[in-house]
Amino acid sequence: MTEDDATMILPTVSGGAANGPAAADDTAVFARVDTGPAESGRALIELDGVGMTYPGPPPVEALKPVELRIEDGEYVAIVGPSGSGKSTLLNLLGLLDAPTAGTYWLDGHDTSKMKEAHRTQLRADKIGFIFQAFHLMAHRTATENVAMSLVYQGVPKRKRRQIAREKLELVGLSHRLDALPTTLSGGERQRVAIARALAAGPSLLLCDEPTGNLDSRTADSIMATLDELHAEGLTILIITHDHEVAERAQRAVTIRDGQLREGNHLHDDGHHTVPTDRASAGTLVMPKAP
């Protein structure tokens, strides 16, 4: 198991604006001092005027400057049609890319002041990723796939394997510890991916269409697992265009043409709108004028 292997766990983001104007001084990581009015919870994610313009040519403003607050322990779905900016937002929230405008606070850290190495470490410490296509390493066992995610944390090999086994047991795969991904069903592969995402004890689970490759019954059981993780206190953010997946979340936010709006407005005929009074204490403010 090498660090090169570990870097393969995350897909690379091409054509983005990483290391753009947001990257600055690696030493400047400020803990945010909350001097505002008392909030009902602690913000895990705060976007302050965060925007993303791909340089092009021609330049594409994929995310207009937005404000978004997600509190620790929330379960939020971001819904939007194709091309609305979901992947752009996911890449920013997951620290896979840096915004070209605004400030992103993750768990009190101003990520826009960080250099890439620091962002990578913060990402490994705080965020677990689940992708539609699982992104498992084909020639590694389930245990190895999970254990590799801990290489960045400097966890000794023996401990990595122990944690991997524990997480695989947690998602119901104690009988498949040494299985290769090709011998697992789609649902089992996604469970390995969930175990991997949980290995480092993240604060945030970022899920990109987690059931997109699964039949409806398997999808339901994966969503039930996410429900349980949320009940145990994990903050979960799902990016999806699937209405049923979005409805399982506590709160929905719609993205359209790079702009955010509270509630599920994926089908704007009014029949599928999730009332915002289902939302928890998190707040979202309409984007500022550019």
Ligand X SMILES: Nc1ncnc2c1ncn2[C@@H]1O[C@H](COP(=O)(O)OP(=O)(O)OP(=O)(O)O)[C@@H](O)[C@H]1O
Q: Residues interacting with ligand X, by CB under 6 A?
A: 15-16, 54, 60, 62, 80, 82-88
Closest to ligand X by CB, 15 vs 21, is 15
Residue with tokens 């993205």: 255
**Spatial contact of 149 and 161, defined as CB atoms under 8 Å apart:** no
Closest to ligand X by CB, 53 vs 149, is 53
As measured in angstroms, the least distance from the Cβ of 53 to ligand X is 9
Sort residue 15 into left (φ over 0), alpha (ψ -120 to 50) or beta.
left
As measured in angstroms, the least distance from the Cβ of 239 to ligand X is 8
Closest to ligand X by CB, 97 vs 144, is 97
Residue with tokens 């998602």: 171
As measured in angstroms, the least distance from the Cβ of 61 to ligand X is 8
Closest to ligand X by CB, 88 vs 235, is 88
As measured in angstroms, the least distance from the Cβ of 177 to ligand X is 34
Closest CA to 44 of 112, 128, 107, 125: 107
Closest to ligand X by CB, 86 vs 265, is 86
Closest to ligand X by CB, 60 vs 155, is 60
Q: Which residues of 238-248 are buried (b: 16+ CB within 10 A; e: fewer)?
A: bbbbbeebbeb
Assign 3-class secondary structure to 21-89: CCCCCCCCCCECCCCCCCCCCCEEEEEEEEEEEECCCCCEEEEEEEEEEEECCCEEEEECCCCCCHHHH
As measured in angstroms, the least distance from the Cβ of 20 to ligand X is 12
The backbone torsions φ and ψ at residue 62, rounded to the nearest 5 degrees and listed phi first, read -75, -30
- Cβ-proximal residue to ligand X, closest one: 15
As measured in angstroms, the least distance from the Cβ of 151 to ligand X is 28
Closest to ligand X by CB, 101 vs 164, is 101
Alpha-carbon Rg for the chain, nearest whole angstrom, is 19
Structure tokens at 142: 């389930």
Tell me whether the omega of the peptide bond preceding residue 287 falls within 30 degrees of 0, making it cis.
Answer: no
**Spatial contact of 20 and 100, defined as CB atoms under 8 Å apart:** yes
Strands (E), the chain: 43-54, 60-71, 75-79, 101-106, 109-110, 127-131, 204-208, 235-240, 251-256, 259-262, 284-285
As measured in angstroms, the least distance from the Cβ of 255 to ligand X is 7
Closest to ligand X by CB, 64 vs 86, is 86
As measured in angstroms, the least distance from the Cβ of 69 to ligand X is 21
